[in-house]
Amino acid sequence: MSAEREIALLERAAQALRGHGLSVTMESETTLGGGRNTAGTWLSVSKDNSRIDYSARVTRRLTPGTVGHVLARHDHPLDAGCPLPLLITDHVTSPLADRLRANDQQFVDAAGNAYLEGRGVFIYVTGRKLREKQIALRASQSFASSRLKVLFSLICDAELAGAPYPAIAAAADVALGTMRAVVADLQEHGWMQVNGKQRRLNRNRRLLDDWADAYARELRGKTLIGRYSAANFLHWREWALNPAHLRWSGEPAAALLGCDLDPGVLTLYSDKLPARLIAHEHLAPAGPLAYEKLVELRKPFWGESLNLWGRLDCVPPALVYADLLATGNARCIEAAQIVYDYWLARAFPVR
């Protein structure tokens, strides 16, 4: 999100809180933090003699597929004495509001939905809807699939950012004609540094989290091909997969990468399930109400970017991480943190 859009959303959220009879002031973290180098905004919310200080955590859009990512990101350890994290977003539906409250995640959105609790303040408002103009604006700001694909390839290959455009386009499986606009967009969002003909990706956890969040919102839903029930679900480790065509992600990939996790859903990336696998593992199309022993088949969205990942039976850790967070399941969120710690932290440090 650009700085201008983030400020606009902060201002709308602050105005929404004032509409609930609260006094709200905003200041930069560096001003209040005694010289801290942390970028962001602190909000002070008060009513009568009660006051709560928050550290604003702005998210463009919240969906069932991204709430797990948000909860995991906002659960990062804070320094002693730091304000509580306050999620600020454009809109929170009633089911998502209940979910956030159940996880003690306080929030406010541009429509006036909010959950604040502590130090004599309690606000819980749900059910307010965005105006049509706000919905249209949100849709117009969505990430293009090509940008997400390019960024995924750059995440997988640190050296790719400096390669010629045709090489990047081939790795991401996007049209060469989109590359100039994509690089400009990445530069605008602060994800890429461009100095003449030299390009470098700003590799940190915020980049990884921004990509995972955008993937869950804008692209992941389009990758789902079908859902299947598996009679041999518990013996998934013994399935004969051709890594040239089938790769694990999500929960089974996390288990293969060292997490102590018994998968509840088996996620596979492939254009189709081989007839031999369907017959041998007794796979059958799952109905809309099925929820046990499920296999979800997702269409690959990359070009050559996976060739650099050494483990042939899994997609790269960044995609495993994103798929785990997209479930919104607490145990998957915990597994995503483990995947990050062991496979991603060195390349994408917290800064």
CATH at residue 172: 1.10.10
Query: What is the structure's pLDDT at 21?
Result: 84
Number of domains present in the structure of the chain? 3
Question: Most confidently modeled of 13-22, 81-90, 93-102?
Answer: 93-102
Residue 288 and residue 338 in one domain: yes
Q: Which carries the bigger pLDDT value, residue 289 or residue 221?
A: 221
Which pLDDT band, with edges at 50, 70 and 90, does 296 fall under?
very high
Inside any domain, residue 287: yes
Per-residue burial over 205-220, b = 16 or more CB atoms within 10 Å of its CB, e = otherwise: bebbbbbbbbbbbbbb
Query: What is the structure's pLDDT at 277?
Result: 93
The Cα 262–Cα 78 span in angstroms is 30
Helix (H, G, I), strand (E, B) or coil at 197: coil
The Cα 21–Cα 172 span in angstroms is 49
Residue 58 and residue 175 in one domain: no
Question: Most confidently modeled of 38-47, 177-186, 261-270, 306-315?
Answer: 261-270
Residue 17 and residue 134 in one domain: yes
The Cα 191–Cα 215 span in angstroms is 15
Q: Which carries the bigger pLDDT value, residue 30 or residue 238?
A: 238
Cα 301 to Cα 46, 174, 176, 207, distances in angstroms = 47, 9, 16, 19
The residue out of 120, 138, 156 marking a domain boundary is 138
Query: What is the structure's pLDDT at 13?
Result: 84
Angle 75-61-16 from CA coordinates, rounded to 5°: 90
Query: What is the structure's pLDDT at 298?
Result: 95
Residue 132 and residue 153 in one domain: no
Inside any domain, residue 351: no
Residue 108 and residue 183 in one domain: no
Using one digit for the tens of pLDDT, what is the confidence trace for 307-337?
656 678 899 999 999 999 998 888 999 999 9
Least Cα distance to 351 among 143, 209, 163 occurs for 209
Residue 289 and residue 319 in one domain: yes
Using one digit for the tens of pLDDT, what is the confidence trace for 238-287?
999 988 889 999 999 999 999 999 999 999 999 999 999 999 999 999 88
Inside any domain, residue 251: yes
Residue 113 and residue 173 in one domain: no
Which pLDDT band, with edges at 50, 70 and 90, does 125 fall under?
very high
Whether the Cβ atoms of residue 155 and residue 317 lie closer than 8 Å to each other? no
DSSP class of 270: -
Inside any domain, residue 213: no
Residue percentage of the chain with pLDDT more than 70: 87
Helix (H, G, I), strand (E, B) or coil at 106: coil
Helix (H, G, I), strand (E, B) or coil at 194: strand
Inside any domain, residue 212: no
Residue percentage of the chain with pLDDT more than 90: 46
Residue 33 and residue 63 in one domain: yes
Inside any domain, residue 301: yes
Cα 338 to Cα 15, 104, 132, 156, 257, distances in angstroms = 38, 22, 40, 18, 9
Inside any domain, residue 349: no
Which pLDDT band, with edges at 50, 70 and 90, does 179 fall under?
confident
Residue 247 and residue 297 in one domain: yes
Report the pLDDT averaged over residues 119-135. 77
Least Cα distance to 44 among 72, 81, 86 occurs for 86
Residue 18 and residue 72 in one domain: yes
Indicate the pTM of the whole model: 0.67
Residue 140 predicted with pLDDT over 70: no
Per residue, the 3-state secondary structure of 149-192, as one string, reads HHHHHHHHCCCHHHCCHHHHHHHHCCCHHHHHHHHHHHHHCCCE
Inside any domain, residue 210: no
283: containing domain = 218-344
Residue 106 and residue 182 in one domain: no
Residue 80 predicted with pLDDT over 80: no
φ, ψ for residue 166, nearest 5 deg: -60, -35
Residue 122 and residue 192 in one domain: no
